[in-house]
Structure 1
Amino acid sequence: MKKPFLFIFLALIVANTSQAQTRSTRIGYIDMEYILENVSDYKEAKSQLELKATKWRQEIETKKIAIDKLKESLKAEKALLTKELIDERETEIKFQETEMLDYQQKQFGANGNLMYQKAALAKPIQDQVFTAVQDIAEAKNYDFIFDKSSDLTMLFSAKRFDISDQVLRVLNRTEKREQLSKKQLKEQEAKENLENAIDENPDLADRQKALDAKRAAREKLVADRKLEQEAKRKEYEDKRNAAAAEKAAKKNGTVSEPAKTEAVKTDNITPDSGGPTEKATTTEKAATTESGVNKAEERQKLYEQRKKELEERKKKILEEREAAKKAKEAKDAETQKTNTTNN
């Protein structure tokens, strides 16, 4: 009974050993500086730290200007001063110079406030990065992951081994998950699965880019159609408003019956007064009609301009589609050629 069990155990050991030998070593790297520069919390805190550093530099510059003034004053008055006064002023200048250098070292030295606060600022995010790197390494079976920005010298590193963007996505996902509802969490998980699949398969990334380009073109076409419909609706409303304005202008330009009766009575009393009244009424009517015509012409020009813009936009979309189609055909032909060569 022991022999069959021993045989099975030895077979499992041999199988695991051969599998370990055939599996290639998987290596990746990150760029910590790149990751930190793309984390919003770090950027905000860094900008505040830069404001502090600017204030420290201004204080050092103020001290330096004050010391230079003391030196110039001593140089100008040195011939009039006693040796004791000269020694006293030189001692004061040396004291202030030492004080300035000590302050500069305190703020900007190797162990100064600037370096200390930078390290304190980066540490929480670095801890998150290390956790994310460990999760990625375990999930995707990485054997080694290096930091490009560390003291480790990397003479060459291919971009396909860079997982910095993957780490950034993990950090952003953790931050977003705290603010999402259950439905949004499901959508986020589906998006994360797609991103992980793209990371594993570069060909899938190209295919996803092509799909995104098609989706963007389709959304742009829908938006242009909406704009065209709005322009047509606007044109119809403008025509209707112009017709109503013209009708109102004609109605307002017509003299009412009481006004006609009053004009006749005035003509009977003073014959010369009727001429100017009739001329004024005719001029007012002509001005109102001309105003309505000018508005209609302006609306027509605006419509023509919008129509021209829509036609140009439609033409541009068609050209982009044609270019994308040609690029896809060229890529398919190249892929087919490569497959033929490999076969």
Structure 2
Amino acid sequence: MMIKKTVFTLLFVIASLTTFAQVKIAFAEVNYILNQLPETQTIDTQLQAFETQLSSEIQTMSQQFQQSVQEYQSSSGTMTDEAKATKEGELQTLQQQIQQKQQEAQQKLQQRYAELLGPVRDKVMNAIETVAEANGYTHVFAKSISGNLIAVYPDVQDNSFSDMVLQELGVTVE
């Protein structure tokens, strides 16, 4: 409901502005722009390497867990109830450690993504502002990296503004 109010207010303001001044509006597809930048490909490569490293650590822990489970299963027939309970507790602890490691890995990956992409995102936003000013746009609506909309925009199939931003960034669009 809050989004609808915001959208209606925004549209009202834009409609009001058209009576006072010339309004020139553009739409920038941030993901489209980012996908064209060589920096993004470098970031993807770095993230894949980091993810491989994290996955390797988790895989090693999982293999150790599986080996411990097999050892327990093969020797549980000869173990006392106390020894079984101790070993089962150790296995549960190891399984919890693996789950915690997986959660930490996901958080680290997201953090690394934000660290690497932040400067590139800032560069794109600055280029959008430069292109908007140079071409007389009064409003630029952008779809953010996360997919959230900054404002409502028409179904635009034309990436001409985004292509101008890429040109400002020194990237040739094919």
TM-score (norm 1): 0.40
Match for residue 133 of structure 2 among 135, 138, 142: 138
Residue 33 of structure 1 deviates from its aligned partner by 1.9
Partner of 1:69: 67
What amino acid is the match of 1:33? Answer: N
Asked if 1:91 is matched to 2:124, the reply is no
Partner of 2:10: none
Across the aligned residues of Structure 1 and Structure 2, the Cα RMSD in angstroms comes to 2.3
User: How far apart, CA to CA, are the structure 2 residues paired with 1:161 and 1:51?
Assistant: 32
In 1, are the aligned partners of 2:54 and 2:105 still within 8 Å (CA)? yes
Asked if 1:169 is matched to 2:164, the reply is no
Asked if 1:43 is matched to 2:38, the reply is no
Counterparts in 2 of 1:88 and 1:125: CA distance versus 1, 3 Å: same
What amino acid is the match of 1:48? Answer: Q
Partner of 1:81: 79
In 2, are the aligned partners of 1:28 and 1:161 still within 8 Å (CA)? no
In 1, are the aligned partners of 2:24 and 2:136 still within 8 Å (CA)? yes
Match runs of 1:53-202 below 5 Å? 53-108=51-106, 112-149=107-144, 150-152=147-149, 156-160=154-158, 162-172=160-170
In 2, are the aligned partners of 1:60 and 1:104 still within 8 Å (CA)? yes
Counterparts in 2 of 1:154 and 1:67: CA distance versus 1, 3 Å: farther
User: How far apart, CA to CA, are the structure 1 residues paired with 2:51 and 2:97?
Assistant: 18
**Bigger Rg, which one:** 1
Counterparts in 2 of 1:155 and 1:96: CA distance versus 1, 3 Å: farther
What amino acid is the match of 2:132? Answer: A
Residue 155 of structure 1 deviates from its aligned partner by 7.7
User: How far apart, CA to CA, are the structure 2 residues paired with 1:34 and 1:121?
Assistant: 18
Counterparts in 2 of 1:122 and 1:84: CA distance versus 1, 3 Å: same
User: How far apart, CA to CA, are the structure 1 residues paired with 2:78 and 2:50?
Assistant: 43
User: How far apart, CA to CA, are the structure 2 residues paired with 1:82 and 1:165?
Assistant: 72
User: How far apart, CA to CA, are the structure 1 residues paired with 2:82 and 2:152?
Assistant: 62
Structure with bigger helix share is 1
Partner of 1:258: none
In 2, are the aligned partners of 1:70 and 1:93 still within 8 Å (CA)? yes
What amino acid is the match of 1:160? Answer: D
User: How far apart, CA to CA, are the structure 2 residues paired with 1:91 and 1:26?
Assistant: 67
Q: Which runs of 5+ in 1 are unaligned?
A: 1-19, 174-343
Residue 34 of structure 1 deviates from its aligned partner by 2.1
User: How far apart, CA to CA, are the structure 1 residues paired with 2:153 and 2:94?
Assistant: 47
Q: Percent identity?
A: 24
Q: Which runs of 5+ in 2 are unaligned?
A: 1-17
User: How far apart, CA to CA, are the structure 1 residues paired with 2:156 and 2:50?
Assistant: 38
TM-score (norm 2): 0.75
Residue 124 of structure 1 deviates from its aligned partner by 0.9
User: How far apart, CA to CA, are the structure 1 residues paired with 2:62 and 2:46?
Assistant: 25
Greater relative contact order (CA < 8 Å, ≥ 6 in sequence):
2
- Count of equivalent residues: 151
